[in-house]
Copies of this chain bind each other. A is one copy, B any other.
């Protein structure tokens, strides 16, 4: 029962989601993948790796791995002059996922439990991650959702909260994946039979790997859901707040249904009580922390704090 374990050991888990030694080679591989997207010049690939290695040589083990994504983005921009190397990939992901939208819509409505199917698809959609993979096959994402069960499945609580909540706060992860999130929110609305008073979507302020930005949210029409508000997060160095800021903490408190998509959000918010996490456990450390096999689907509820 990983869920009980997680509940009992919350303090330990918070500790575990800081940067680990394994994050260093993984970050360098991720930087190299991005450098190759931004430029075909092997000299520039070397430069990106060199800059990243120099920065990582002085990293603090107390930061979140999330910080490393900004470092990659900066290094690739500095060397190649490209601000958004995944720009094309993101557009393609959105387009490809939108093409599958009717098929997935049908899959959901024809299933025994549409809300569960939509949640599973949303979790499987978290595989659309060019920070981790070089290529993603969307059809296999759907097959994954059809074949696999959730390894952590706090569905009863989820169903209850979807039914009763007034204000939904939804932290998005990757472009393409957000079409799956759109389907989930639409299915939530059908399941409730009523609108939310407010749906707050949280994309990234600026390009960060292949994470969804406001442009992506608009591209897939997520902004057309009823009562939508869009509040981006970012590095905290521009306009949008850093995820672990007082401001974002206040957003979370003001909403009665909070969903975090993906690994980055899990790393940042695992200690956040009374919230949901939907993801694929792609990183071996996250899989270990959650006590599940890699590539498992997760719908996890963090219970309210005991105080």
Instruction: Give 1 or 0 for each of A51-82: 1 = CB within 8 Å of chain B CB.
Output: 00110110101000000000000000000000
Q: Which of A24-32, A85-93, A215-223 contacts B (4 or more CB under 8 A)?
A: A24-32
> In the complex, which of the residues B29, B42, B48, B54 contacts A57, with contact meaning CB atoms closer than 8 Å?
B54
Cβ contact within 8 Å between A25 and B22: no
* Interface residue? A21 (CB, 8 A): yes
Q: Nearest Cβ in chain B — how far from A33, in angstroms?
A: 10
Measured in the bound complex, the distance between the Cα atoms of B50 and A272 in whole Å is 30
**Residues of A in contact, count (CB < 8 Å):** 21
> In the complex, which of the residues B21, B26, B32 contacts A22, with contact meaning CB atoms closer than 8 Å?
B32
Considering only CB atoms, which chain B residue lies closest to A44 in the complex? B21
The count of identical subunits is 2
Instruction: Give 1 or 0 for each of A264-290: 1 = CB within 8 Å of chain B CB.
Output: 000000000000000000000000000
Chain B residues in 8 Å Cβ range of A120: none
Known: A53-B56, A53-B57. A21 touches B25 (CB 8 A): no
Interface SS of A by simple majority: helix
* Interface residue? A12 (CB, 8 A): no
Chain B residues in 8 Å Cβ range of A26: 25
* Interface residue? A300 (CB, 8 A): no
Chain B residues in 8 Å Cβ range of A24: 25, 28, 49, 53
* Interface residue? A46 (CB, 8 A): yes
> In the complex, which of the residues B25, B45, B50, B59 contacts A29, with contact meaning CB atoms closer than 8 Å?
B25
Measured in the bound complex, the distance between the Cα atoms of B32 and A22 in whole Å is 8
Considering only CB atoms, which chain B residue lies closest to A61 in the complex? B46
Chain B residues in 8 Å Cβ range of A28: 24-25, 28
Interface residues of A (CB under 8 A from B): 21-22, 24-26, 28-29, 32, 35, 42, 45-46, 48-50, 53-54, 56-57, 59, 61
Closest 9 CB pairs of A and B: A25-B25, A25-B28, A21-B49, A54-B57, A53-B57, A25-B29, A57-B57, A21-B45, A53-B56
